[in-house]
Structure 1
Amino acid sequence: MDIATFLHMLHEDVGPTKQTAKKHLIHFTSETDYLACKDELLRMKTALTGLSGVQPLDIIHAFSCTLCPDTKLKDFSSKTRIELDTKISLNRVTGRKPAPKRARILSSTRTRTIPWGVDQIGAPEIWSKSVGQNIRVGVIDTGIDFKHPDLRNSISRGINLLNRRLLPNDDNGHGTHIAGTIAATGRYSGIVGVAPRAIIHPVKAFDQNGSAYVSDIIAGIDWCVQNDLDIINMSFGMKTYNPTLEQAVMNAYYQGKVIVASSGNDGKKKTVDYPARFPQVVSVGATTRLGKIAPFSNRGSQIDIYAPGERVYSAWLGGKYNELSGTSMATAHVSGVIALMLSLKPMSPLQIKNALRRCSFSLSKRVNARWQPGNLNARRAIRAARQE
């Protein structure tokens, strides 16, 4: 493969700003060619400014960039394959306007608030044994409110994939809400998350409207793997299968990363969204305060575990709090419990999934010979982790 010629053609194609240009993925069939091209790309970026917008994705041996539909690169080499990038959205959630501070205190210790979901899964019962100490959770979402008092002590390095020169500040609220459920500290006031000593690494892949490209999600997964995070929380979904996303998920899984994703909020009885549908992912459905499957939650045998997802109280922008409903919120509870499990002992993604499935509380009183997904419980999850 003539790498220099390829990169010069790429520079000419991505350099001009054209209205018809769209985001694409350039896949390399050979890892050797990809690595050689990546090295040359990094060397040539200063001279060929058009290449500055080309982003290497090590986890799938591909480049992400903006190309014109009639790009000549499509016919350049049999060693590359060009794919049009697609969009993905946060799972639609229901909610109200941001609630005032401490608006709904469902369970409290002194001046701290333990939201009902954290309480229902029994997390406070095992904080004497595990608080998720030093477990690193990548939250691929809309970013985080760095100034929120309940999150200041939970945040470490993150990345803004929409503008790498900026911090991953949240301009939507969804990412902050997810982070609060996982690891809010609430040392003196405010809320406490499931794993209050876990460390959140915010990965901003979604814009203000809750929209992202699949390439941004893959870049987020890649960043989490490169930085050796333990858990990747993905509270979003898409209806259609995407082989490139599956490749990224599989590669992260085989490198020992536990991936947790929401099943979707369409109320479907026999199917779930991607990436939750991939077998390498812990797929999460939502329950109500009464411990029943939420009407909006996708459900069925493809779910691994159910967790609280109705009117979940958590952190919001501007140091505020908000109630949201959705499988996104349920997913955050599961990521928090996994942090509690991993803090006690190292476990593989498969061991985590098996333990969660085995330890859940049944949702049905009827005796059924076939396994069915049940409700999350932190105490039983910790016990199952010790048995793995």
Structure 2
Amino acid sequence: MEWLRSPPCTAEYLGRRGILRFFDSDDYAQFLLTSKLNERRTQTDKIRPIRNLNLIQAVSCPWEAYNSNTFPKCLTGKVIWEEDVPVSVAALPKGALVTDKGIPWGVKHIQAPQAWGRTTGFRVKVGVIDTGVDFSHPDLRHSLERGINLLYRMALPQDDNGHGTHISGTIAAANELQGMIGVAPRSTIYPVKAFDHNGTAFVSDIILGIEWCVRNQMDVVNMSFGMKTRSRSLLNAVNNAYRSGVLIVASSGNDGRIGDIDYPARYNQTIAVGAINQANRIAKFTNRSGLIDIYAPGDRIVSAWLRGKHREMSGTSMATSHVTGAIALLLSVKPGLTPAQIKAVIKNSAKPLQHGKAPRMAGELNVMRMIKAAEFL
């Protein structure tokens, strides 16, 4: 089939795409066999335009392929076609590079340092689906495993944007003398590069990232990005991860919307995170609704950046990484907790917002209260 031999591409110029999901596992297996989607790739290949999404029994392919005469129409009626929409990382424009480091205000605010005598996140595996990470950064050098690059399979998931490095620093930076300390400095980051240098990916890239995290038994997954469109395929992947014991932490978005938050944070099987500022108020940029599970520091957050530097950034992305780090601290002392138990502990132990007007509003993250609440499980 000619469309299977299209040039390899990345998210920035693949064009319109779709996800074809199969209800019948035999149909899916037969499709893979007849379409030869599992052909060998050379070491120099980027990821091909046709991707197997085994976690949800689907494939991602270009719109032209679906509409072409070469597509196996015999399976129509047993499949669902869904737009493979673009997704963007959830951060506001970059702040300034900074020289002051140490323990950032957000890490202090959630009382992570008070917990370090008992837990530092040791041996907890954290998947970060993002733009990759700066493997040479001195603050992260001892906190990283190889992970995976979904855009260039044979390459390290090296960060060419900065967002993933910033997120990873807040979670697990460990360079007290010359750099900064993250929430869970002895947890281990497994970077999953699904986003290109513009901070853009397709839903199918995210699904592949979730699949990798499930297969490699991550304890918690940070997803600091969002989209406005509901995707059944992404929901299916999130549900499968949840049932497999892998909890996903997701950002609510930065549009300042009230009564609405981004996907995948909007799914019940994730932890939806909003941002607060240093004045203990909900940040103006945060999307918020009754679906927010927890608020955490997300305004003017200093963390690691490319080429060993540090940068101040704001966004629900930054808030999400604080929550992921806190979960790593929790799982280090309570390794058997299920996703449902973790979510309940985080919500029930939240500290009421000082300036929250609605009585049922989600509270803010507090590590000490969280760990204490987990003792009764």
Comparing 69-78 with 338-347, which one deviates more in the overlay?
A: 69-78
Q: Residue 28 and residue 216 in structure 1: after superposition, are their counterparts in 2 closer, same or farther (change >3 A)? A: same
Give the drift of 1:67. 4.9
Q: Which amino acid aligns with 1:27?
A: R
Contact 2:37 2:52 in 1 (8 A): no
Cα deviations by residue, 1:25-59 (Å, 9 ceiling, x for unpaired): 22222123324544676796159x9x965322111
- CA shift, 1:366, in A, is 7.7
Alignment partners' CA distance in 1, 2:80 and 2:355: 52
Shift of 1:188: 3.3
Q: Which residue of 2 aligns with 1:357?
A: 347
- Does the CA contact (< 8 Å) of 2:88 and 2:226 recur in 1? yes
Deviation at 1:60, TM superposition (A): 0.5
Partner of 1:96: 95
For residues 182 and 17 of structure 1, do their structure 2 counterparts lie closer, same or farther at Cα, with a shift above 3 Å needed? closer
Count of residue correspondences: 365
Aligned partners of 2:293, 2:200: CA distance in 1, in Å?
26
- Note if 1:308 corresponds to 2:323: no
Separation in structure 2 between the aligned mates of residue 384 and residue 42 of structure 1, nearest angstrom: 52
**Gap change, CA 1:219 and 1:20, over 3 Å in 2:** closer
Deviation readout 1:104-133 (Å, 9 max, x if unpaired): 34xxxxxxx111100111000010111001
Structure 2: how far apart are the matches of 1:23 and 1:229?
29
Aligned alpha-carbon RMSD (Å): 2.4
2:55 aligned partner = 59
Matched, 1:23 2:22: no
In 1: Cα distance, 2:110 partner to 2:257 partner: 24
Moved more, 18-27 or 63-72: 18-27
Structure-1 separation of matches of 2:368 and 2:25: 44
Q: Secondary structure at the match of 1:387?
A: coil
Larger Rg: 1
**What's the counterpart of residue 109 of structure 1?**
none
Distance 1:153 1:52, change over 3 A: same
Q: TM-score when scaled to structure 1?
A: 0.88
Q: What secondary structure is seen at the aligned counterpart in 2 of 1:95?
A: coil
Work out whether residues 263 and 284 of structure 1, in 8 Å CA contact, stay in contact via their aligned partners in 2.
yes
Structure 2 unaligned regions, length at least 5: none
Distance 1:123 1:55, change over 3 A: same
Q: 1:83 to 1:344 in 2, by over 3 A?
A: same
Which of these residues, 322, 330, 344, is aligned with residue 319 of structure 2?
330
| Separation (CA, whole Å) in 1 of partners of 2:3 and 2:356 | 62
Q: Could you say which residue in structure 2 is the equivalent of 1:167?
A: 156
TM-score, scaled to structure 2: 0.90
Structure 2 residue 127 is matched with structure 1 residue 128: no
Question: Are residues 1:71 and 2:68 paired?
Answer: yes
- Structure 1 residue runs of 5 or longer lacking an equivalent are 1-10, 106-112
How far the C-alpha of 1:86 sits from its partner, in A, is 1.1
Question: Is 1:32 matched up with 2:21?
Answer: no
CA distance, structure 2, for counterparts of residue 279 and residue 36 of structure 1: 33
**Cross-structure match for 1:8:** none
Give the CA deviation at 1:367: 9.1
Task: Tell me, yes or no, if the aligned pair for 2:146 and 2:156 is still in contact at 8 Å.
Answer: no
Report the more deviating stretch, 273-282 or 156-165: 156-165
How far is 1:251 from its partner?
A: 0.8
Match of 1:4 in 2: none
- Which amino acid in the other structure matches residue 87 of structure 1? P
Distance 1:366 1:266, change over 3 A: closer
Identical columns (%): 47
